Structure formats: structure tokens, C-alpha cells
Amino acid sequence: MSLESLQSFVSLLESRGELVRIKERLSAHLEVAEVANRVMKAGGPALLFENVAGASFPLLINHYGSRKRISLALSCEDLEEQAQAIGALVHTRPGSAKDLAALAGKVPELASALPRSVKKARCQDVVLTGDDIDLEKLPVLTTWPLDGGPFFTLPNVITKDPDTGVRNIGMYRMQRIDKRTTAMHWQIHKTGARHCRRAKELGKRLEVAVAFGGHPALTYAATAPLPDGIDEWMFAGFLAKSPVKTVKAKTVDLEVPADADFVLEGYVDPSEEPFDEGPFGDHTGYYTPVDKFPRFHVTAVTHRSDAIFPATLVGPPPMEDAWLGKATERLFLPLLRTMFPEVVDMNLPVEGAFHNLVLVKIKKQYPFHAPRLAHGLWGAGQMMFSKVICVFDDDVDVQNPGEVVWRMLANLDPKRDLSFVDGPIDQLDHGANQALFGSKLCIDATRKWKEEGYTREWPEICTMTPSVQQRIDRLWPSLGLGDGAPPPVELTAEPSWKLQVFDGLTARARSFLEQKGSR
């Protein structure tokens, strides 16, 4: 499939029955969020709000909100296709002439993912500077009643390391302060915050550009936990199977995506008094309190003439961001296996807000392998924020919550199998007694070996003899219990709340959409 822009993605979703246009006039203050929340909870479609009060542009939301849509956003029919492509890339090692040939064959594929600069771009169809800048014309959402104001929720924030000039693209929420200023929620552990601290040490402003929209892989790449030195736009180009085109910004010395829908250009002055940002109803499901963050001053707004404004809603799960997180879980599993080959599968449950709970199954190879793996994960990039890591044997389906609970509790001796460490935690984690530092837990849910002090005989799981199962399969149609043997339960990474478009909508949400959106 060929995607070049957010507009082509909208057309694709509409052709697949994955999008509904909402023509009813709704306010960006809470009303859009209430509709989106109901639809997200029901596993419903992407929504294009065409008449947001006071705004000059349509608003797109929930376009990443299912396994199908996040797959289409990443230029595939299913996430496992991209996971396999990444796995094939990272597991090719030149140990022989054949391996060298295989690696050489991937060079064109990698080279084609490098960003390419152009001189003219759709993102600069319209250029606004000075008094023409008005962020209040954008349909920026206030999503929860106690939010401190409207927040940009899908920004691709572009900065450069003040020393090396290496580019970073991250996703940091931005509270709109006035027509030309926002807050910049750079959490202390993030790369953007590091760039800002270094700019302060050098006594200079940090130039910033913020892109919205464009190819949907751009926004996913901004959320991806890439190692330092891996360019987000190269990763996006690899996923999109087409290089990201960039163009020089108008008022700052930065490159921006040529096909973005909107670009905000400007700067952060680290010496300036920070802004009291928040509260904000966050992906944890709780409000994060007011805290001090830098101000972003906008020097230019550029946009496509047919621009669509993308947004998302976060709060009590499940929400749209569940699928951005699930994409990371599937795509980065091959990379995790390069560090920990014993890992078979991993599940970051939506309800765990992706850093509160990690379920991982391994091919256990030696005594106390589970806690050793947990300590290794805590030292691996953003996995350091994982609050609880639960390790299972390789015969457990960690994508099945029922099986996870059964096997964990059956195998568990709390005193023996729980181990605690102290370390850094996510800045949004409110559970610890102090910010940024708290305790973490490893639960060893594997079978225990004699070398681990288990002196009894570990029991076998109850399973039927295959020959009996096969005989009953043959006899089943004659037993009067249905038209054949009950199909096996399908266990996938897709949680049970994901339903076909409309099928699972609540009566009120379905009625609203049918009456207002599809006429």
C-alpha cells in the first residue's frame, strides 16, 4: 500500500470501513473527547470531526485505535509483518559468505530509508508569522474537566543536540498558553529535556520545530523507544518503505517533514521562568499534577492548504494509545531478543500503562534465570521504568490474561518468588513516595528447579491424551452438541475489547454516530 500523507491515510481508512465523518458541530472543550472516549472504549472506528467549534480545520482522532489501523499506518496488513522484517534485519550477522550476501542485500533497503531533503513542500503551502500566528484557530482539545487547558497530544517535537547537531524527534504534550506560546512537557529522562539542559549550560536558546500529521509512521516513530543515535525519521522511512522527505523550516535552522499537515516553529529559552503546566488527565488514567516546564515560543506556523489536525485522547484504558504501545511491543521484541535471546514473547498489558507491568516468557536455561532477566530488562533503555516484571516458562501464553493469572498464582510462593529493587521510575508514576525514584518487583512465575531450593516433585499440568482428543473430534458431530467440535480459543495480542467497527459500540455512542455522523 502507498501512503504519502495523512490525507491518503484517511482515504484508505474510509475505503476499509474504518472511519466515520462527524458533521455535528462540537466543542473542542470536552465534547469531542467524550465522543472519542466512548468510541475508543468500544473498539470503534477512527473519527474525523469536520465541524469543531471555533476551528478552521477538521480533527482526526482514533486513527491508530485498533490492530488493523495501526498496521495500516505502518504500511502493512498486520504488525507481525513489520516485526518479521525487523527481526530479519537485526539477526543477519556476517559470519559467512552467505551471511555477507544476505546483509548486502539489505543495504538498498536501509539506504532507501534515509531522509531526503527537498526545496518545496506541502507543509509550507501557507506560512504565518508575527501577528498572523494564532494557535487558537487549531482544534486543540481539552480532554478532561480538570485539565489546565487545551493540550496538543500528538506532536512530533524536533530538536538538535547543541553539541553534536544530532536530531531527535520525541512526543511531548504541549499545553496551549496563548496564541503564540505553549508549555513543553519535557520529562527529565527524555532526550528533548537533555538538549534543553545543555542549551542552558551554553547560555543559548534551543530551536524547536513541532510537526503534526504527515505519513502516519512519523507519529509512531516519535513514540518509539529507539536507542540514542537511531534517527526516528530513518525508522519511519523503513516502516513506510519510502524515505521521509524533509524541508528546511522558515524561521529556525531545522529540517521538518515535507508532507506534515502543520509545523510550529520557534524556540525554548532555558533561562526563562518556567510555566506551571497542568493538571492533565494522562495515560495512567489519573491527573498528573501541576509542575514547572519550559515555554515554547512560536515564531511561525506553516501548514498544508488541505491540512487535517491529528489528536488523541488519553485516560483510563483502553484508549487509542493502547495500539501505539502494542506496536512497540511487537516491533521491538526482535531487538529485545538480540540482548536477551532466551525471551520468547512479551506482553505489555494496556491496563498497566505499558510501564507498570511486563509479562515475559523465556526458555529457562539455569537456576534463578527469571530474576537475572528482570535485572537485565531494568538496565535496557526505557524498560528501566518497568514497575513489575513477571517471568513465565515458554509454555505459557503471556497474551492470555486468564492463563497468566492461573500459572502465576499456581507457581507462586510469595516469600521465595518476589524480589525487590529500588531505582528510577517514570515521572508520571504517582504510586511511589517520591518523584522519579521507587521500588520495583520481579515475580518469578517459572517452574522451580531443585537447584533453586525446591525439594518436592513439580507437578504436571492436566492435559488430555492426543489420541482421545482426535477420537472425540471425529465423534463430535454425532453427539448432538453442535455442528462440530468447539473451535480452539484464539489468543492474540489483541485484547477482547477490540470488536468490529460499530459492533461493540454502546447504544448511546452508536445512536449518536448513526444520527449525526453518517448522514
Q: What residue has cell string 531494568?
A: 378
Residue 250 grid cell: 522558515
Neighbour count for residue 26 (Cβ, 10 Å): 21
- Hey, which residues are catalytic here? 282
With b for 16 or more beta-carbon neighbours within 10 A and e for fewer, the 271-309 pattern comes to eeeebebbbbbbbbebbbeebebbbbbbbbbbbbeebbb
Contact 98, 234 (CB under 8 A): no
Alpha-carbon dihedral angle through residues 458, 462, 465, 469, given to the nearest 10 degrees:
-160
Question: Quick one: how far is CA 85 from the chain centroid?
Answer: 19
Is residue 366 helix, strand or coil? coil
Residue 126 grid cell: 501557507
State the Cα angle at 57 between 55 and 60, rounded to 5°: 110
Helix (H) or strand (E) holding 196: helix 191-202
In 3-state terms, the chain is what percent helix, strand and coil (to 5)? 35, 20, 45
| Residue 191: HSE in the Cβ half-sphere, 13 Å Cα cutoff | 28
How far apart CA 371 and CA 278 sit, in angstroms, is: 38
Q: Which residues contact 423 (CB under 8 A, 6 or more apart)?
A: 378, 384, 437, 438, 440
Query: Residue 296: which of 171, 188, 184, 206 has the closest Cα?
Result: 184
